[in-house]
Structure 1
Amino acid sequence: MRMPRSAGFFGGMVVLVWLAVAPAQSQDGESLDALVEKWLASPHGDYHSQSFTYWNKDGEVPVDCAACHSQTGFLDYLGADGSASGVVDHPAVINAPIGCASCHTSAAHALDSVSFPSGVTVDGLGSSAVCTVCHQGRLSGDDISTATGGIDEDEVSGDLAFMNVHYGVAAAVMRGSDVRGGYQYPGKTYAGTFAHVPNANTCVACHDPHTTQVETDGCISCHRGVEDPRDIRMRHTDFDGDGDNAGGIHAEILGLHGDLLAAIQSYAAEISDASIGYAPGTYPYFFQDSDGDGQIGDDEAAYPNRYQSWTPRLLKAAYNYQVVKKDPGGYVHNPAYMLQLLHDSLEDLSAQVDIDMTAYRRP
């Protein structure tokens, strides 16, 4: 039996979507009420998240953002509303977190391939396909190449501005060089899709599909002797050159990431002749460091003070810095790709500023 059922979670607005009548319990025995409570407590169901409220002042979510920032937009993208699949045809409803109907429709279940910003389409995604739609970013390294083409590597250009990969880019990181989410330096080889063990090789194998929280029991049962997944490492090289390989691969990525920011700041001051700093919670993230203290204070983190002295070399490194920043789970999703992007960005900056690369190791 089928009946019209509210898609739910629309902040008082009712949108009807045809759904099969939901069972009282899920297959693992959890009640429907329990699953809904989990979802409402998750980032995807957060009514107050900026991800779903940013456009309230406009009264609608624009077409370019709708697929991932409104349930009606996602259903439009899937074609579950009767429209063409793979595109969003209309602006979407505000105050509409991603709800049950986003994933529990025949169109979502049938989705198996997704196109990435690089233009590469990945097939055979199965249950990871719906996650991949929104966790691939909005740009690829190809966009950086296009923007910087024809400009001398160390020429400050008014035609350049920071290019933000977007947020939650786990799918792009997992696929590595196969989809070119990061800026990949010419002449270098990069890790492709990271293949974990078969029972931990999809999004929902590691993340609870309703809370989105990582279920770490499986990690710890295989990687004996650690209590935190961040302490896991399968490569024991000292990649960040600090002389310590006792921590997990997460520590190596953090070390290189911090070194890259320091190198970006050195390059900006010495070559672009304009100090730069990073503010993690404020767009467009890189700002003029007006007082030269290496930090971006609240008074500096304002759009008019955005960094504007970009060279191609600086933009490439900053883009890769942001790719790593916007996938905090990159140490699990594709650690080799993360390390390669950071190492090569440092190496490229070292052509112009004093960076001792001898202690660093590239996977």
Structure 2
Amino acid sequence: MKRMIIVMCALMLGCFGLNASAKEGEASTGKSSGARIEMGKGHFKRDAKPFHYWDQAGEIPAPCARCHAAEGVPQYLKEGKNTPAKLVKNAYACTNCHADMLSYERNTVSKVTFPSELTVDTGNNDANLCMTCHQGRESTNSVNKAIGDKPVDTPDPKIAFIHVHYYPAGATLYGTQAKVAYEYAGKTYAGRYNHPKKMNQCTACHDPHSGELKREQCASCHDDEKTGVPETDAVELKKQLAELYAGIQQYARAVGGSALAYSSAASPYWYADSNGNGKVDPEELKPSNSYKAYTPRLLQAVYNYTFLIRDPGAAYHNGRYALQIAYDSLDSLAASGKAGIDMKGKVRP
């Protein structure tokens, strides 16, 4: 009975935090030396779409349960796969990441297996645990399988958009050791990017519960006003992504015969731009209006563009790899002669 009471107290402290808010989003005056939990944020944002996408279906499908069920991670780590799961009511359970609610010990993750089937061990169990989900769901292999040996600039209605999925930060961090972004044949790519030792794992930069950046810790290197050093990778990647999007749209019109545009609002994200105004209007935002004139070259570029915007911190997680992916996507479209891209003056990182 005594142990049961201790466990119940530990669960309450662990799940709601000594200094967690009594109400979602409300500031707390409590103090704790441990990680701070705020209900309503990140992994505990119980009303967020990642926890309610399947409300109408009634359950979370097996392929999605690893990262979207309340306790999908422990099952995956134990069995190597997941079964369909119950709908989430309050986002993650503490036991999704914690193996012991007295010590708050995390589940043991010996290695990370990416969608490419490549594996890595970060050397840090917490980072391995984070990357169990933050890795994407597709890879170079997925795209190559979809395009096969089809003519590179011939539209094919059988080619459909492949979505890498959200926040694949671990894949960006490990670059070619993960091969989750699309890597063009004959090119070499950067591997793992290492931050300074004390900042070289996920929870050094991100709060493990909310996912938010620990801005004060990052500012010593990444605050332009304090360091006087501009974030060159971030600036350059933003520029190249704008060029890539414009090139994708021009190529689609010239080769596919119909315009396309991107919207983050809903799957499948890339839609036929029926009125040619360069954006997805509300009446165009429907699954039946998905773009249907992909060529192998276009799919490669669209996949990489989406990969880079799905990791908002790509320039910081692995700037060299991100810029290589952007450069090669631009270069491929430029080689078609149909995308209006000029590679003069551009240098591959």
TM-score by length of 2: 0.86
Matches within 5 A, 1:324-335: 324-335=308-319
Indicate conservation of the 8 Å contact 1:276/1:287, yes or no: yes
> In structure 2, how many angstroms separate the alpha carbons of the residues matched to 1:224 and 1:185?
34
Does 316-325 or 139-148 show the bigger shift?
Answer: 139-148
Q: Secondary structure at the match of 1:357?
A: coil
Give the residue type in structure 2 aligned to 1:110.
T
* Paired residues of 1:73 and 1:93 also in contact (CA < 8 A): no
Which residue identity lines up with residue 109 of structure 1 in the other structure?
N
3-state SS of 1:131 partner:
helix
Match of 1:9?
none
Q: For residue 320 of structure 1, report the CA deviation from its aligned partner.
A: 0.2
For the 8 Å contact 1:72–1:96, the answer to whether it is kept is no
Question: When you count helix as a share of all residues, which structure comes out higher?
Answer: 2
* CA drift at 1:125: 4.0
**Structure 1 residue aligned with 2:292:** 308
Q: Distance in 1 between matches of 2:202 and 2:89?
A: 26
2:239 aligned residue (249, 255, 259)? 255
Partner of 1:97: 91
SS of residue paired to 2:342: coil
- After superposition, the C-alpha distances for 1:246-291 in whole angstroms (9 at most, x for unaligned) are xx42121111001001000111111111111111222111111111
> Is residue 2:258 matched to residue 1:274?
yes
In structure 1, the partner of 2:307 is 323
Count the aligned residue pairs.
328
Deviates more, 1:183-192 or 1:206-215: 206-215
TM alignment of 1:71-82, pairs within 5 A: 71-79=70-78
Displacement of 1:94 in angstroms is 3.1
For structure 2, which runs of at least 5 residues remain unmatched after alignment? 22-29
Once the two structures are TM-superposed, the CA of residue 339 in structure 1 deviates from its matched residue by 0.7
Alpha-carbon RMSD: 2.6
1:127 Cα offset (Å): 1.1
Question: 1:340 deviation in Å?
Answer: 0.7
Offset of 1:77 from its aligned partner?
Answer: 1.8
**Alignment-mate amino acid for residue 114 of structure 1:** V
SS of the aligned residue for 1:3 comes to helix
The structure-2 alpha-carbon separation of the partners of 1:142 and 1:51, relative to structure 1 and needing over 3 Å to count, comes to same
Offset of residue 23 of structure 1: 8.5
Q: Displacement, 1:64?
A: 0.8
1:22 aligned partner, one-letter code: A
Relative distance call for 1:224 and 1:271 in structure 2 (3 A) is: closer
Change in Cα spacing, 1:315 to 1:224, as seen in structure 2 (3 Å) is closer
2:115 corresponds to which residue? 117
Unpaired segments ≥5 residues, structure 1: 6-18, 234-247
Partner residue of 1:161?
160
Equivalences for 1:55-74 in 2 at 5 Å? Answer: 55-74=54-73
Q: Distance in 2 between matches of 1:224 and 1:321?
A: 26
Question: SS at 1:94's partner residue?
Answer: coil
Give, in angstroms, the shift of residue 209 of structure 1.
1.9
Shift in Å, 1:47: 1.3
Measure, in 2, the Cα distance between the counterparts of 1:297 and 1:4.
Answer: 56
